[in-house]
Amino acid sequence: MKHFADLINALESTNKTNARIDAIVDYLERAPEDDKVWFIALFTGKRPKRNVSTALMKEWALEITQLPYWLFQESYSSVGDLGETLSLILPPPSEKIDKNLSEWMTEIVNLKEKTEAEKKDFVLKSWDGLDYTERLIFNKLLGGSFRIGVSSKTLINALAKYSGQEMSALMHSTMGKWQPGEISFNELISAEKVNADNSRPYPFCLAYPLEKELEDLGTPDEWLIEYKWDGIRGQIIRRNDEVFIWSRGEELVTEQFPEIAETVRSMKGNFVLDGEILAVKDRKVLNFNELQKRLNRKNITKKMLEDIPIEVFAYDLIELEGKDLREKPIAARRALLEEILLNQKPGHIHISQSVNFEKWEELNGIRESSRDINSEGLMLKQKNSPYHSGRKKGDWWKWKISPLTIDAVLIYAQKGSGRRSAYYTDYTFAVKNGDALVTIAKAYSGLTDKEIMEVSRFVTKNAIEKFGPVRTVKPELVFEIAFEGIGFSSRHKSGVALRFPRIVRWRKDKTVDEIDELEEIKKLIQ
């Protein structure tokens, strides 16, 4: 655990990519083989499920420290992170426990079968044998909240530097549903093992926001233009009569879309399709909020299947009969995809519509009207482009329509975590609903450091009430909030939900009387 704690310290002490890569390589050169597997698992989001509730961890820490609850809450509010707060308030360790990361993770996973008394004994003994940093990491691993700000690209670069393997092969080999204990480190990073199981997806090919004039892209006939849909990007895999559906976030979502899985099972051959999973009814793409009702559910009811039917708009074919097609140009891949879908005519899976045009200027109007069909804009793909791992400038561009915006007032604020734990950076905004204010969205980004400090001073001076770490403030600060989409929602007080809300600017020129009305905002919903 000490080596792992040293790695975390090194990663959090710099924002330089090369320094982070060197820190990871140094760790891999020293760590035991099993620890390396757990390292990759944790850094690619394969955290074990929480087997000890944070409520119990807090209860046990208060029992040890004898702190009054109000003082703990004040400490938690100031720090902004439960695992860090617990590490700070606990007394210094009386002994030293020296275990590898893999040993700790095995014990944490095995807590699932333990009684509450056995869990308490394990946690208290662990706290008493770890220093502050090790204890902090232990708390986050135990509570299921371990995250580290290292991009997947940085991780893959470090693995490539350490192993000498190609980055694309490493991106592929570290994906899928593998678990520590079932695979060795050498097998995991070996390019020869990339299809060790039938489920393994490919790294998604991603696009950059368009940053050129259309005329600078070349001639129109060199480009494939498609609508950009606001759904769930997915890879649909059929290998050896097994079917898997992966989201871009590397979540296996097969059971959430049973009609898609059943359709793919009825098809012939082996293939991997890339496309957008959408809620489509009566040939109309529904708002993302409707699709969201189907997500993360253990059971999909018959009524839900009828009310929110799902379709896949397929736009790429990246594997056919075991052959990797990624190096072929997209024009050739799409031709093969069209052949499969035309011959088999699977229900629920359709070829993504391509946009016919002759001159670049024609795309401007098509893009501007895309919101009418619940599209986010256009995708521009060079017809000769391969299917890259991740992003590569120049081949795929996304050209989104301008976001929707509203003016709203700040009514709640909460301090951030990590480097921002001293400032109020998490904001809740409201709009007018008659003579009252109703919450409309939360936002965490869009302000400069100087503005964050200014808002924090306002919150400190103008807090009306506090609920744990949350402060209610005088409704005076008006902000322009941008968002990608809007839909009706029974889960929000306002009755609507905004898609990807963020702060555009602080409207110091406006008062709370000038913020938007809820009924007018609802008119934005298609």
**Per the structure block, which two tokens stand in for 478?**
């008006």
C-beta pairs of 113-121 under 8 Å, 24+ apart in sequence: 114/51, 116/56, 119/51, 119/52, 119/56, 120/56, 120/60
Cβ pair 127, 137 in contact under 8 A: no
Identify the H or E element spanning 312: strand 310-320
**Listed residue (342, 328, 227, 208) closest to 275, CA to CA:** 227
**Listed residue (158, 155, 196) closest to 176, CA to CA:** 196
Identify the H or E element spanning 53: none
**Listed residue (189, 180, 195) closest to 39, CA to CA:** 180
17-30 vs 33-43: helix axis angle to the nearest 10? 150
Cβ pair 232, 296 in contact under 8 A: no
Cβ pair 230, 237 in contact under 8 A: no
Cβ pair 64, 90 in contact under 8 A: yes
Per-position DSSP letters for 227-268, written without gaps between them:
EEE-SEEEEEEEETTEEEEEETTS-B-GGG-HHHHHHHHTS-
The strand pair at 496-499 and 485-488 is best described as: antiparallel
CA separation for the pair 78, 462 (Å, rounded): 17
Strand partners, 354: 226
- Catalytically active residues, by annotation: 228
The strand pair at 375-382 and 223-229 is best described as: antiparallel
**Listed residue (300, 229, 293) closest to 487, CA to CA:** 293
* DSSP-based three-state secondary structure for 109: helix
**Per the structure block, which two tokens stand in for 452?**
């964050």
Q: Dihedral sign, CA of 41, 46, 50, 54?
A: positive
Q: What is the largest CA-CA distance in the chain?
A: 75
CA atoms within 13 A on the CB side of 52: 28
